[in-house]
Amino acid sequence: MSPSSPKTGDGPDAATAKDGERANGEPNQVDRKRRGAADDAVAIELEVSRQRAIGWTAFGLIVGALLMWKLGTVGVWVGVVLIVIGAFRAWELVQSFVYPPGTITVSDREVSLPRGLCMPHPVRVAPADVTAVYFLRRSVPWNRSAPVLVVEIGHHAMAFPRDWFASEADQRKVVHALLRNASTQGDPTRVQTIPALAQIQRMVWIEMAIGLGLALAGLAGAALGHARGSAAYVYFLAPLCAGVMVFWRAFGRR
């Protein structure tokens, strides 16, 4: 065999192995699958309405302060409630500037679901961990806009209301992508071991404990002040209302 002759054997042809393409320049089957998976990936960015948060913040703080300043006991009660609502909306407004609204991403390898609007650390699971996905159109809480997209991961359900999306078509894209990639016969016991879900459950229980503590402290302070005949007991309604709101918000995410 002369030095210039090619080596014999079953080795791959250089033209075939180069860049995962065939000798004629067409992509091979593996490359086609990878490109098809990339084309099937869906990414839907959520929408946040700062105008609503600004309106509730201004209304709650200003009107609440005026009621506490000018009116009597009942007006003070209403004013405290409005100030608590305004402060909560102000916190949501600040969150909208600190963090992005969030993006729902569905691919053949991973599903990324935001824990809420403008909240860090989304939940990342495998498509097989999604056990159910559906719409709620009638049994919707009063503070949610229908339809609500519900994604179940084992025994944990994540809700995404209509006003978090630019249109209902975006919700449908997420549903179709999840149904295409998810398994409706997932193992709930295996899903419970996902660290992201365990962290969400811990945060929910912590928020519920904080809310319950604030509510009990406000209730005890208001009862003690009222028993002593002091008008300052009405100011304990602030932690009472804040505790109820925090507890109810966490209870809805449990």
Q: Is the pLDDT of residue 23 over 70?
A: no
Q: What does pLDDT average to over the chain?
A: 76
pLDDT (mean) for 95-103: 90
Same domain, 221 and 241: yes
Same domain, 253 and 235: yes
Same domain, 126 and 175: yes
Same domain, 176 and 198: no
Which CATH number is 132's domain given? 2.30.29
Q: What pLDDT score does 242 carry?
A: 82
Q: What pLDDT score does 106 carry?
A: 92
- 130 occurs within a structural domain: yes
- 97 occurs within a structural domain: no
Same domain, 175 and 109: yes
pLDDT (mean) for 89-115: 89
State which residues form the domain around 252: 194-254
Q: What pLDDT score does 16 carry?
A: 42
- Can you tell me the distance from the alpha carbon of 213 to that of 243, in angstroms, rounded to the nearest whole number? 7
- Can you tell me the distance from the alpha carbon of 93 to that of 108, in angstroms, rounded to the nearest whole number? 34
Q: Calculate what percentage of the chain has a pLDDT beyond 70.
A: 73
Same domain, 112 and 162: yes
Tens of pLDDT, residues 150-200? 888 877 788 898 988 988 889 899 999 888 875 544 455 555 556 666 777
Q: Is the pLDDT of residue 27 over 60?
A: no
Residue 153 and residue 131 in contact, taking contact as beta carbons nearer than 8 Å: yes
Residue 104's pLDDT band, with cuts at 50, 70 and 90, is very high
Same domain, 110 and 177: yes
Count structural domains, the chain: 2
Tens of pLDDT, residues 204-230? 888 888 888 888 888 888 788 777 776
- 4 occurs within a structural domain: no
Q: What pLDDT score does 103 carry?
A: 92
Q: DSSP labels for the chain? A: --TTSPPPSSPPPHHHHGGGB-TTS-B-HHHHHHHHHHHH-EEEE----HHHHHHHHHHHHHHHHHHHHHS-HHHHHHHHHHHHHHHHHHHHHHHHHHS---EEEE-SS-EEE-SSTT-SS-EEE-GGG--EEEEESSS--TTSPSSEEEEEETTEEEEE-GGGSS-HHHHHHHHHHHHHH--TT--HHHHTT-HHHHHHHHHHHHHHHHHHHHHHHHHHHHHHHHHTT-GGGGGGHHHHHHHHHHHHHHHHT-
Same domain, 218 and 237: yes
Same domain, 179 and 198: no
Give the pairing of strands 132-136 and 148-153: antiparallel
Tens of pLDDT, residues 54-96? 998 999 899 988 988 877 777 878 888 888 888 888 988 998 9
| Residue where a domain terminates, one of 187, 221, 240 | 187
Same domain, 201 and 180: no
Q: Is the pLDDT of residue 14 over 50?
A: no
Residues in the chain: 254
Residue 17's pLDDT band, with cuts at 50, 70 and 90, is very low
- 219 occurs within a structural domain: yes
Question: What would the two tokens of residue 221 be?
Answer: 């302070």
Same domain, 172 and 237: no
Q: Is the pLDDT of residue 12 over 70?
A: no
| Residue where a domain terminates, one of 150, 166, 187 | 187
- 31 occurs within a structural domain: no
Residue 237 and residue 77 in contact, taking contact as beta carbons nearer than 8 Å: yes
The residue whose two tokens read 């904080």 is 210
Q: What pLDDT score does 130 carry?
A: 87
Same domain, 180 and 111: yes
- 133 occurs within a structural domain: yes
Q: Is the dihedral of CA 213, 214, 217, 223 positive or negative?
A: negative
| Residue where a domain terminates, one of 146, 169, 187 | 187
Residue 188: name the closest of 134, 128, 123, 121 by CA: 128
Name the residue with higher pLDDT: 236 or 113.
Answer: 113
Phi, psi of 221 (to 5 degrees): -65, -40
- 67 occurs within a structural domain: no
Residue 18's pLDDT band, with cuts at 50, 70 and 90, is very low
The one-letter code for the residue type at 24 is N
- 23 occurs within a structural domain: no
